[in-house]
Structure 1
């Protein structure tokens, strides 16, 4: 797992320009941008969980509607009516269905976070993404070894 030069190493074996540190960018800045990128990745994952919550809650409500119809067809009208009026279409939180929760998260947290991360990259690194990870890859891969290429073949 040595990051040292292996047989066949050439300058073209390194990262592309989009993943190369601009001249004068300090190690500390690259590390800070890497941590900011890591934080954004966590926000992206949280957003994915939120969309999963949205989809599962909607799926549950639709299945509940089907259960109400089946209960009614089975002769349990009072129970079906009670479930229909108390649970079908119910808000997930006060005043909101899950699509409203997702929209609020997107508008008030996700989008501003994503914009702030991009602004920091634009200001400090010419918009380059994943510099910390690209440098980690260069350090950890075995140069010249199969399946350790810096980038896809052209």
Structure 2
């Protein structure tokens, strides 16, 4: 890994490509977060449903309570899967592969440096010598 995160040894197109790959991974990470939110909300809904079933049964609404219990409580949300299985499949088959290939690209092309595109952008856009515009770690002041 070089000390200069702007990687002057790399051509602009390679840096731009690495930047787009990084942006794509960040988008996948956001999607993964939404998927975990979906997982947690669906689980919460199932627990609330179970409370509703118990209350309806207590109120004497046994036919409806039985139907809800049988048809919805513990139901698969997609073919043969609960949400934890969807999350696990996403992680194992997409997210992990995406991260590994992003790391490979960074290692092969930029000595493992992350955010080279952003480092160059920071150097272009900051005001040298101005307070709160310092270069920071691994960037030339």
TM-score (norm 2): 0.91
Paired residues in the alignment total 136
Does the CA-based 8 Å contact 2:5-2:116 persist in structure 1?
A: yes
> Within the alignment, does 1:55 sit opposite 2:29 as a pair?
no
Residues 72 and 33 of structure 1: CA distance in aligned 2, closer, same or farther (over 3 Å):
same
Match of 1:4 in 2: none
Structure 1: stretches of 5+ with no match in the other structure: 1-15
Pairwise CA RMSD = 1.5
Q: 1:146 Cα shift?
A: 2.1
Give distance in 1, aligned partners of 2:5 and 2:43: 41
Deviations 1:19-60 (A, max 9, x none): 231x53111111110111011111111111111110111111
Give distance in 1, aligned partners of 2:131 and 2:49: 53
Q: 1:72 Cα shift?
A: 0.9
Q: Which has the higher contact order (CA 8 A, sep 6+)?
A: 1
> Within the alignment, does 1:96 sit opposite 2:96 as a pair?
no
> Within the alignment, does 1:17 sit opposite 2:3 as a pair?
yes
> Within the alignment, does 1:33 sit opposite 2:30 as a pair?
no
Give distance in 1, aligned partners of 2:73 and 2:134: 54
TM-score (norm 1): 0.83
Give distance in 2, aligned partners of 1:141 and 1:70: 61
Structure 2: stretches of 5+ with no match in the other structure: none
> Within the alignment, does 1:143 sit opposite 2:128 as a pair?
yes
**DSSP-derived class of the 1:17 partner:** coil
**DSSP-derived class of the 2:20 partner:** helix
Give distance in 1, aligned partners of 2:51 and 2:61: 14
Give distance in 2, aligned partners of 1:147 and 1:74: 64
